[in-house]
């Protein structure tokens, strides 16, 4: 996915008619995880110039993230046992043996008399009972299917750095007084940083900063040092493939911990 064009010909960067198209093209490629290094840098510059790009990434990413958990539709083949049970339920209506003519006549007469006496209500009751039974069976099958989907959803994805939803452990080079355990999770809308640690100066403010390969610094969140162990998750609207390192800075802006990240393979 490349762009071309110079000033005045409507290409990206000169405000021409293709500028919006290039913007959407970069956003779509970012959501699909198909950005090249040059395109990632181009998107970072666009995000720095236009904050609404982050809003689009977040909104589209939330939709795609929800759709990603649905999985592929598969039509199951009914089991032999299920077929037998369905046939048993439908059997009386399908396999009734015709009666003798006299019996049919008496039966018809009896049915007309029953209708006049208002005895059609029990038939409706039986149909209602069958409908309730069928609905209960559907609910039971839905519950079993829901539990199965939930069990599948509880298993986190596995894969290398940048795999959507996978937990990526990272190691900080840190101040000797600090003890930090950290992980990253790549999402379609950005990067989640999970921090657990201790040794931070009580009452001092710290900031988590994600740094791109081009040197763009993106704040992900801040926290206060305390005697309690730190346990938090922070988010930044930058794709994992664009993040080269993570820093934790103190109030002076100096880095007290730095984690260099592996390059995401395309």
Structure confidence by residue, pLDDT tens digits, 175-206: 899 999 999 999 999 999 999 999 999 999 99
What's the maximum distance between 2 C-alpha atoms anywhere in the chain? Answer: 104
In a domain, 80, yes or no: no
* CB proximity list for 84: less than 8 A, separation 6 or greater: none
- pLDDT > 90 fraction of the chain, expressed in percent and rounded: 37
pLDDT of residue 48: 87
Distances (CA, A) of 214 to 36, 115, 135: 13, 85, 59
Q: Using one digit for the tens of pLDDT, what is the confidence trace for 132-176? A: 444 444 444 454 455 545 545 556 678 889 899 999 999 999 889
Domain-located, residue 100: no
Q: For 200-227, what is each residue's pLDDT tens digit?
A: 999 999 999 999 999 999 999 999 999 9
Do 176 and 148 lie in one domain? The reply is: no
Q: Please provide the size of the chain in residues.
A: 266
Question: Quick check: 249 and 255 in contact, CB under 8 A?
Answer: yes
For residue 209, tell me if it sits in a domain.
yes
Residue 95 has pLDDT above 70, yes or no: no
245 shares its domain with 201: yes
Question: What are the backbone dihedrals phi and psi of residue 195, each rounded to the nearest 5 degrees, phi first?
Answer: -120, 135
Do 169 and 180 contact (CB within 8 A), yes or no? Answer: no
pLDDT at 108: 53
| Number of domains present in the structure of the chain | 3
Determine the pLDDT at residue 39: 86
- Is 221 among the domain residues? yes
Mean pLDDT of 58-81: 61
Residue 189 within any structural domain of the chain: yes
State residue 98's pLDDT score.
46
pTM reported for the whole predicted model: 0.44
- Determine the structural domain holding residue 30 and report its residue range: 19-68
CB contact set of 5 (below 8 Å; sequence gap of 6+): 11, 12, 14, 16, 18
- Same-domain check for residues 171 and 239: yes
Spatial CB neighbours of 29, under 8 Å, sequence gap ≥ 6: 1, 35, 39
The answer to whether residues 251 and 184 belong to one domain is: yes
Quick one: 179 and 214 in the same domain?
A: yes
User: Is there a single domain that holds both residue 185 and residue 256?
Assistant: yes
């Amino acid at each position: 996915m490349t762009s071309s064009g110079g000033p005045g010909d409507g290409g990206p960067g000169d405000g021409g008619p293709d500028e919006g198209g290039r913007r959407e093209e970069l956003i779509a490629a970012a959501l699909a995880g198909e950005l090249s290094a040059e395109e990632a840098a181009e998107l970072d510059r666009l995000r720095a110039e236009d904050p609404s790009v982050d809003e689009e990434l977040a909104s589209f990413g939330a939709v795609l993230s929800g759709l990603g958990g649905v999985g592929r539709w598969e039509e199951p083949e009914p089991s032999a046992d299920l077929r037998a049970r369905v046939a048993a339920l439908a059997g009386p209506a399908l396999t009734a043996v015709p009666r003798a003519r006299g019996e049919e006549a008496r039966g018809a007469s009896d049915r007309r008399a029953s209708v006049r006496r208002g005895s059609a209500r029990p038939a409706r009751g039986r149909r209602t009972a069958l409908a309730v039974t069928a609905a209960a069976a559907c609910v039971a099958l839905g519950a079993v299917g829901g539990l199965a989907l939930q069990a599948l959803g509880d298993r986190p994805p596995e894969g290398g750095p940048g795999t959507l939803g996978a937990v990526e452990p990272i190691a900080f080079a840190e101040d000797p007084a600090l003890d930090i355990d950290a992980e990253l999770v790549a999402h379609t809308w950005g990067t989640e940083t999970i921090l657990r640690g201790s040794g931070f100066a009580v009452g001092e403010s710290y900031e988590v900063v994600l740094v791109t390969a081009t040197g763009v610094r993106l704040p992900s969140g801040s926290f206060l040092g305390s005697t309690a162990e730190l346990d938090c998750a922070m988010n930044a609207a930058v794709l994992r493939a664009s993040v080269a390192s993570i820093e934790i800075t103190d109030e002076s802006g100096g880095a007290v911990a730095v984690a260099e990240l592996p390059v995401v393979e395309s």
